[in-house]
Amino acid sequence: MNFPLQIPASHKSVFEVISTAASSINQPVYIVGGYVRDFYLDRLKQTEPDLDFVTLGSGISLAEKVHQALKGSHLSVFKQFGTALVKTDEFELEFVGARRESYRKNSRKPIVENGSLEDDQLRRDLTINALSWSLNKEDFGTLVDPFGGIQDLKNKLIRTPIDPKQTFDDDPLRMLRAIRFATQLNFNIEEKTYNAISEMAPRLEIISKERIVTELNKIIMSDKPSIGFAHLFHTGLLKQFFPQMHQLQGVKEKNGQTHKDNFWHTLQVLDNVVEYGGDLWLRWAAILHDIAKPPTQRFDKDAGWTFHGHDALGAKWTKGIFRQLGLPLDE
C-alpha cells in the first residue's frame, strides 16, 4: 500500500499491519486525533506518537488481530470501556470501536452506543483533534475532516466541533483542554468557545482534582505557561480549583501608594523560570512563591505596602494546596 503522506517508515509499517488486520475481519479503521493533528503541525518528531485508532466494529477484536500480527507485542484489554492497548517496543496503539455518547446532567459517565466515524468525531473536544486518516485499502491515507480542523490549524484557532456549550456540558474538563492546547500551540480560542468556557466554568466542580491537575501540569510545562494562566483567570476557571492563586490578582492604593499586581508578577516569574528550562516542581515553586501575600498585606505609613511573613505562611500552605489540587507530597 502506498501511503500518500511523508511519515516515518516505522509508522507506515504499523499502519499497514493495522489495515490488513482490519480488512481480515471486515472492519473499517481510522487513525484519529493527536497523531493526525501533529503531522500537519510538523510536531511528530517533538512529541510521543499519539496513536489512537477507531474502527467500525469491535476495537478489542481488531486489537487482538493486530497483536497476533505484531510479534513480541503485548495486549491489554479493558472490556468495561470496550478498548484495548497493543504495546510494542516503539509504540502504544489504542483501539476503540466508533461510538456515540450522551451524558446525564451531573454525571461524567457517558451513555455509550455503537456509532459511525462521524459520531465518534462529533464527540471529540476540538476540531483539530477530530481529524482522521483512513487506513482502509481502498482509500489508504485519505483525510477525513468533517469540521474544518485543517483550516483551524492554518488559522491557529481552537474551536469545538459542535456547540461549545454542549461540548463542555458533556465533559467540563474539555474547557481546560481547550486552554491547554491554546497554550501549547500558541493558538487563539474562538470567541464563541471562549465565552462558553466563561459561562460554564462552574461545571468544573464535577471533575476530579486528579483530572484537573493533569491538564494544569501540561499548561505549566508548556513553553509559555502565562498564556494558559491568563486564560484560566479571565474565564473564571482558575478560581474554581485554585482560588489562592486567583486571589493574588489586584492592586490596592492608599495615600497615593500602590504595590505590584502579584498575580501577573507570579506569571512573569514563572515564564522566567521556563526560559532556564525549570522542571515541573521548580515551576510550581515559582507559582507558589508569593501565594500567601494577600492575607499578609499591610499598609505602613512610613514603609508603604508590606507583606511581612508571607514566605513562612506560604510554606505552611504548600502541603494543603498540594492536597487540594491532588499533587504528590513526596516529589
pLDDT digits (tens, 9 = 90+) for 312-330: 776 777 888 999 999 987 7
User: Cα separation of 102 and 76, whole Å?
Assistant: 26
The predicted model gives 143-171 an average pLDDT of 96
pLDDT by residue (tens digit) across 43-55?
Answer: 988 777 889 999 9
Give, in degrees to the nearest 5, the angle at Cα 224 between 237 and 309: 70
Higher pLDDT, 176 or 103: 176
Please state, in angstroms and rounded to a whole number, the distance separating the CA atoms of residues 19 and 309.
64
Residue partners of 5: CB distance under 8 A and separation at least 6: 39, 133, 141
Which band of pLDDT confidence, cut at 50, 70 and 90, is reported for residue 228?
A: very high
Q: Residue 209: which of 173, 235, 181, 180 has the closest Cα? A: 173
The mean-pLDDT minimum among 79-83, 193-197, 246-250, 305-309 falls in: 305-309
Q: Is 172 helix (H, G, I), strand (E, B) or coil?
A: coil
- For position 306, what pLDDT does the model report? 62
Rounded percentage of the chain residues whose pLDDT exceeds 70: 87
Mean pLDDT of the 231-239 span: 98
pLDDT tens string 119-142: 889 889 999 999 999 999 999 999
Contact residues for 185 (Cβ-Cβ < 8 A; gap 6+):
41, 156
Pairing, β 29-32 against β 51-55: antiparallel
- CB–CB of 86/67 below 8 Å? yes
Average pLDDT, the chain: 89
Residues with Cβ within 8 Å of residue 270, at least 6 apart in sequence: 220, 225, 226, 229, 283, 286, 287
Confidence category of residue 152, pLDDT binned at 50, 70, 90 = very high
| Three cell numbers written together for 71 | 510479534
Amino acid at 2: N
What's the pLDDT score for residue 208?
Answer: 94
Q: Check whether 305 has a pLDDT greater than 90.
A: no
How far is it, in rounded angstroms, from Cα 154 to Cα 167?
A: 22
Question: Picking from 7-21, 80-94, 101-115, 199-213, which range would have the lowest pLDDT averaged per residue?
Answer: 101-115
Position 259 scores a pLDDT of: 59
Average pLDDT (265-288) is: 93
CATH for 1-155, options being 3.30.460.10, 3.30.930.10, 3.40.50.450, 1.10.10.10: 3.30.460.10
Position 317 scores a pLDDT of: 79
What is the maximum span of the chain, computed from C-alpha positions, in angstroms?
Answer: 83
Instruction: Give the pTM.
Output: 0.88
Residue 105: predicted pLDDT:
61
The domain locations on the chain are: 1-155, 242-325
| Residue 112 pLDDT | 66
